[in-house]
Structure 1
Amino acid sequence: MNDNRREFLKKSTTLAALSVVGLNACSKTGNQETENSTAVRTAGVNSKTKIAEWPIKIGENMPRLTVGVSNDASVAEMRQLKQIGVDYVLMGGPPIPWTEESLRKIINRFKAEGLTVINMMIGGHPHTIYGRKGRDEEIKQIQDSLRAAGTVGLPVVEYNFYAHRLMEGYYREDTRGGAGNTSFDYEKGRNLPTDPKLGTPQTAEMLWANLTYFLKAVIPVAEKAGVRMALHPNDPPIPVSHGHAQIMATFKDWQRLIQIVDSPANGMTYDCGVTRETGEDPLEVLRYLGSRDRINHIHYRNVTVEKPYVKYSEVFFDEGQVNMFAVMQEIFGLNYKFGIYPEHPREISYDKEHAGGIKNQYPGGGGYAAQAYNVAYTKAMMQAVVSLKDAAVSA
């Protein structure tokens, strides 16, 4: 290759990087001005910048692209993920109490196909959520499960603390080319009666007391085991579901959570989509939790919000109000090293027509092909951030 052509290609690569940042800087949706100024400021690209060499490698202290899968997934399903560049997976764990044997059986199956289990969801504690008789036995089982997780090297255990989740508010909505969005409207379920099988409706005060009791019992065990717990915020982030309060539905709630037990083991699943659903700036919330080392898992998705908390649509990653590039830059800036899950794929025709259709709990939700789109988009964002970061260092 002659020198002129080499110089031309070098300049073209730099201009391509600049155009990515420039396009982001032109967007003015919602609170995007704050997000985009961050993208421009931290990129560190100029006409003399040396762009990093490819292929881009994700280092040890960087986020791990992670995809959810069933813990009894077939070898074919595992290989489908491996083929699209996924090396880390998350899943629901076995029934509590977890044991070293039950966890190793699952982890080793995935390891044989080149997949590392980075996160398991723990459940089976309804008495704890409702503050009922029997919660101490559930808590003991979770404590034993955390010890087992630490023994086998499982770094993150995720959990929910819903008294009830309002799935009735979700509906399918058409988007580009006849694909499906998952939309939510609180009015569809606002006045639904309380389910008598769930018992006494839980007030916010009751749930906070129950959560505090739980955290003070399990976080010291998790900390000693070397395991981090990640509580996912309420999604949908509405005030009441079937008469039950939702105590993880606002930024103030998330701030309160991490103060109950002051430990990195007492953290959250940060979700940039849910954060936008509440009307908050995803970057500000990310910085608040991340600077305190309280983000133990990340969900990566985009939304368009009509009215915070109560009416919004989960959309393709490139269509929503969240600046996904700026969020990714901030994540890398925090030196976060756990999972980042590109979740809630959209419904597309290909998935409906192949491999037995779509198996998704959300109306407008997608399958494998749509998840491959999410993975590719997320990996591109990750590589772009690393590339620009390396370029800034070498400039």
Structure 2
Amino acid sequence: MILSFLFFGNKPDEKWQLCRQMGITDAIAKLAPELTGDPAIDDYESFARSKAIFESNGFKLIGLEGDQFDMTRIKLGLAGRERDVERYQRMLENMGRLGVGLLCYNFMATGWYRTDINLPERGGAVVSGFSLEKARTEPVSKLGTFSEDQIWDNYHWFIEQVMPVAQANGVKMALHPDDPPVSPLHGISRILTSADAIRKALSFSDSASHGLTFCQGTYTTMNENVHELIHEFGRQQKIHFVHIRDVTGTPENFRETFHDNGPTDMFKMIRAYRQVGFNGPLRSDHVPTMAGESNAHFGYEMKGNLFGIGYIKGLMDAAVSIENF
């Protein structure tokens, strides 16, 4: 397993230095124009410049995460989606040319969402959470309302357009489930809200490039058996990337926790990844905001990541040691 870190943009700062100090050498990045100030990475030269920045700072850029440009028309089946998917195909071709082999993507038209961002955690740390009751009091999206059938049709069309290009360019596309796993949200249906839905999504292509970002926290929120799913999807070689975090609650009402303060037996999960032969990247995800931090980027402040990365490194080392004991 490869311990990686998610970088927002391509501008080195203290986080980059801290990652080097923690022994992180592999980078996952979101390189959207609003983060880099450069053209979107369907432009080869823009992409190559970002990759060179990571390399000059001691990191191997192994993957991308999130929407690298606006995906709304693709996800909602709006006019212009054909032009957008052509850009997506060019991005996949650029990934192949530059040797960036992983793409963590989602099909949430309105992204991951929380109703609360200042819930108390251990020692005065704060975390995010979700309440469906609160969400139902919020306005319907300006984009309108969309049924689950519509979103499924759009996803199927998308896979047909991009998966052959991903396979031809040696890119693993890793589908992230919907977070929160409830539907609809603000009038827009969400389809990837259960293990059965993920199985349906995987059935749309038998390409080796078609796989998953296995987000433990989201599957925990779904009330699925995370350990069994690691074995199921892992044996099928469909886990391309792993997000490690923990939550407590139900799909309709949940909150984040520290990695060691939730319901999950994290050591058991790390051992399961080893048992199924997973050797791809994983990262700490959605961490508490700790003392002295602003919470401006809730879930992704650095002190919680320092804790999460150290905790995961310890679990990984212990898993190896117990096998060699």
Normalising to structure 2: TM-score of the pair? 0.92
1:81 and 2:19 correspond: yes
Once residues 381 and 190 of structure 1 are traced to their aligned partners in structure 2, the CA distance between those partners, rounded to angstroms, is 39
Cα deviation digits, residues 130-162 of structure 1 (max 9, x gap) = 111211111111111101101111010122211
Once residues 13 and 125 of structure 2 are traced to their aligned partners in structure 1, the CA distance between those partners, rounded to angstroms, is 29
User: 1 or 2, which has the higher helix percentage?
Assistant: 1
Task: Tell me the equivalent position of 2:296.
Answer: 359
Letter in 1 for 2:271: Q
Cα deviation digits, residues 242-271 of structure 1 (max 9, x gap) = 111110111111010100011221111101
Letter in 2 for 1:181: V
Residue of 52, 65, 85 corresponding to 2:3: 65
Give the Å deviation of 1:375: 0.6
Give the Å deviation of 1:125: 2.1
Residue of 231, 256, 267 corresponding to 1:287: 231
Cα deviation digits, residues 134-192 of structure 1 (max 9, x gap) = 11111111111101101111010122211234735234221222122322211111242
Unaligned runs of 5+ in 1: 1-62
Cα deviation digits, residues 87-110 of structure 1 (max 9, x gap) = 112111345452432222112211
Once residues 315 and 368 of structure 1 are traced to their aligned partners in structure 2, the CA distance between those partners, rounded to angstroms, is 15
Once residues 155 and 288 of structure 2 are traced to their aligned partners in structure 1, the CA distance between those partners, rounded to angstroms, is 33
Contact 1:165 1:236 in 2 (8 A): no
Residue of 269, 279, 286 corresponding to 1:337: 279
Task: Tell me the equivalent position of 1:267.
Answer: 211
Q: Which has the larger radius of gyration?
A: 1
Give the Å deviation of 1:366: 5.8
1:106 and 2:50 correspond: yes
Contact 2:15 2:302 in 1 (8 A): no
Call closer, same or farther: CA 1:370–1:171 in 2, change over 3 Å: closer
Task: Tell me the equivalent position of 1:248.
Answer: 192
SS of 2:64's partner is strand
Task: Tell me the equivalent position of 1:207.
Answer: 151
Percent identity (aligned): 24
Call closer, same or farther: CA 1:326–1:102 in 2, change over 3 Å: same
Once residues 379 and 359 of structure 1 are traced to their aligned partners in structure 2, the CA distance between those partners, rounded to angstroms, is 27
Once residues 277 and 142 of structure 1 are traced to their aligned partners in structure 2, the CA distance between those partners, rounded to angstroms, is 30
Once residues 384 and 150 of structure 1 are traced to their aligned partners in structure 2, the CA distance between those partners, rounded to angstroms, is 35
Once residues 295 and 187 of structure 2 are traced to their aligned partners in structure 1, the CA distance between those partners, rounded to angstroms, is 32
What is the aligned length?
Answer: 317
Once residues 183 and 191 of structure 1 are traced to their aligned partners in structure 2, the CA distance between those partners, rounded to angstroms, is 16
Once residues 248 and 322 of structure 2 are traced to their aligned partners in structure 1, the CA distance between those partners, rounded to angstroms, is 28
- The Cα RMSD (Å) is 1.7
Once residues 111 and 97 of structure 1 are traced to their aligned partners in structure 2, the CA distance between those partners, rounded to angstroms, is 17
Contact 2:234 2:277 in 1 (8 A): no
Once residues 97 and 241 of structure 1 are traced to their aligned partners in structure 2, the CA distance between those partners, rounded to angstroms, is 30
Once residues 141 and 298 of structure 1 are traced to their aligned partners in structure 2, the CA distance between those partners, rounded to angstroms, is 26
Once residues 155 and 168 of structure 1 are traced to their aligned partners in structure 2, the CA distance between those partners, rounded to angstroms, is 30
SS of 2:45's partner is helix
Task: Tell me the equivalent position of 2:306.
Answer: 372
Call closer, same or farther: CA 1:334–1:285 in 2, change over 3 Å: same
Task: Tell me the equivalent position of 1:382.
Answer: 316
Call closer, same or farther: CA 1:123–1:297 in 2, change over 3 Å: farther
Q: Please show how residues 1-395 of structure 1 align to structure 2 within 5 Å.
A: 63-74=1-12, 76-95=14-33, 96=40, 98-121=42-65, 122-165=68-111, 167=113, 169-196=115-142, 198=143, 200-305=144-249, 308-349=250-291, 351-352=292-293, 357-360=294-297, 362=298, 365=299, 367-391=301-325
Contact 1:303 1:315 in 2 (8 A): yes
Normalising to structure 1: TM-score of the pair? 0.76
Letter in 2 for 1:359: A
Call closer, same or farther: CA 1:257–1:172 in 2, change over 3 Å: same
